[in-house]
A = this chain, B = another copy of it.
Amino acid sequence: MKKHNFNAGPSILPQFTLEKTAEAVIELGSTGLSVMSISHRSKEFTAIIQEAKSLVKELMDIPDGYGILFLGGGASLQFAMVPYNLLNRKAAYLNTGSWASKAIKEAGLFGEVVVVASSKDKNFNYIPTGYVIPQDADYFHITTNNTIYGTEMKSDPDSQVPLVADMSSDIFSRPVDISKYGLIYAGAQKNLGPAGVTLVIVREDILGRFERPIPSMLNYKIHVENESLYNTPPVLPIYSSLQTLIWLKNQGGLSAIQRVNEKKARLLYEEIERNRLFKCTVENPGDRSIMNVCFVMNEEYQELENSFLEFASSRGMAGIKGHRSVGGFRASLYNALPEESVLALIEAMNDFEKSN
C-alpha cells in the first residue's frame, strides 16, 4: 500500500524526483554511465550543478553577489561553520527550539553569544517578539521553522546586522525577501532532496571580514571560489535535488506552492480546532507552522493517543507520531505532500472522533 508520508525528515519527495533519480541511477541520459559513477568534473555533472544553482537563483529571486553552495555534512555542520566564518566577537541568536539551542551551543565555542529571546519557558510553543538585536553583533541567527515544536516565523525579520537563517524545514515553501539575509542554510531532506546535501546561500561581502584560520572544508570563501567543487560533492543527492527544483518550477514556483501549502495547513488546523478529541500545541495561530502541524489529544481523551496512532496507521498514515519533546502527533506537510494526504488524515480524525 502506498503510504501518506507525513515524516518530518527525511520526508516525502515528488514522485517525479523518485522516478528521475531511479532512472539516472541505472543510466544518466544516454551516457552509458550511472549518475553514481560519473566524475564530478565531467561535463554532465557540471551541467547538473549549474542547472541546480540557476533554479535556486530563479525560484528564490537571488540577486548577484550571493554564492549558492551544495555542501555535504548536513545542516548540523552549519551550526559550527556559521560561527567559524562569521563570529569574530559577538553573535546574537533567537532560541526557538532544539535546533536553535544546538546552534547556540556550537557558536559558544567561537565567541560571545547573546540569546536575544527564548521561548523555552513554554516548551518552545511560540515565537518570541519584542527582542532587541545588539547593534555590535557580528550577525543575528534565527531558525525560521521549528520542526519539532511546530512554530514558524512567517515573515522575514528586520536586522541591522547580517541575518543568518536555518531554513532547513521551510525553505522553498514560500517566497522570501532575500535582500534581508546574509546567509541561509538548509539541509535538503525536507523540501529539496535526500539527506546528504545542504544548500547554503551566502552574501559574499559578509565573508572574510576578520582573520581566523579556518579548515578549508569549513571555509565558505573556499567553497564559493570553487563553486561547490573544492572536494567531491554529494553527486547523487544533488542530482535528486535538481529534479525537485524542476518539479517546483513546474508547480509555478514559490508563490504558487505557498498557496497550496497554506491551504493544506488551514484544512488541517481547522479540523484540529473543530474535532473535540484534539488540540494544537501552538496556541497563537500566527505562530503555527505551515510545514509541521503539531497536535495532541485533549486532556480528557489522553488514553486514546496510541489507538489513534494505530487507527491512522491502518489508514496508511506514516510518520505522524509526535517528537518525544512534545508528544502527541505531528503531521509534516512539506511541498511534495499532496492535498489528498491531508484530506485522508482529516477523514481519519473525523472517523475516529465518531467512533469515540
A residues with CB within 8 A of B:
1-3, 5, 7-13, 17-19, 21-23, 25-26, 31-34, 36-40, 72-77, 79-80, 84, 102, 105-106, 109, 187, 189, 193-197, 213, 215-218, 230-237, 240, 316, 318-319
The majority secondary structure among interface residues of chain A is: loop
Report the copy number of this chain in the oligomer.
Answer: 2
Q: Which residues of B contact A234 (CB under 8 A)?
A: 72, 194-196, 234, 237
Q: Which residue of B lies closest to A105 (CB)?
A: B216
* Minimal Cβ-Cβ distance residue in B for A21: B25
CB-contact partner of A233 in B12, B36, B195, B216, under 8 A: B195
Known: A18-B26, A25-B22, A36-B240. A187 touches B232 (CB 8 A): yes
Residues of B within 8 A of A213 (CB): 109
Q: How far is the CB of A49 from chain B (nearest CB, A)?
A: 12
In the complex the two chains form, is A26's CB within 8 Å of B36's CB? Answer: no
5 pairs of residues in contact across A and B, judged by CB atoms under 8 Å = A12-B37, A22-B26, A74-B217, A76-B231, A80-B218
Minimum CB distance partner of A215 in chain B: B80
Q: State in angstroms the CA–CA spacing of A203 and B141 once bound together.
A: 37
Is A7's CB under 8 angstroms from B74's CB? Answer: no
Please give me the 3 A-B residue pairs with the lowest Cβ-Cβ distance, nearest first. A196-B234, A80-B215, A76-B231
Q: Would you call A36 and B8 a contact (CB within 8 A)?
A: no
Smallest CB separation, A167 vs chain B (Å): 15
Q: How far is the CA of A279 from the CA of B36 in the complex (A)?
A: 31
Least Cβ–Cβ distance between A292 and chain B, in angstroms: 14
Q: How far is the CB of A22 from chain B (nearest CB, A)?
A: 4
Q: Which residues of B contact A72 (CB under 8 A)?
A: 72-74, 77, 196, 234
Give the docked Cα–Cα distance between A215 and B74 (Å): 14
Task: Report how far A106 CA is from B40 CA in the complex, Å.
Answer: 23
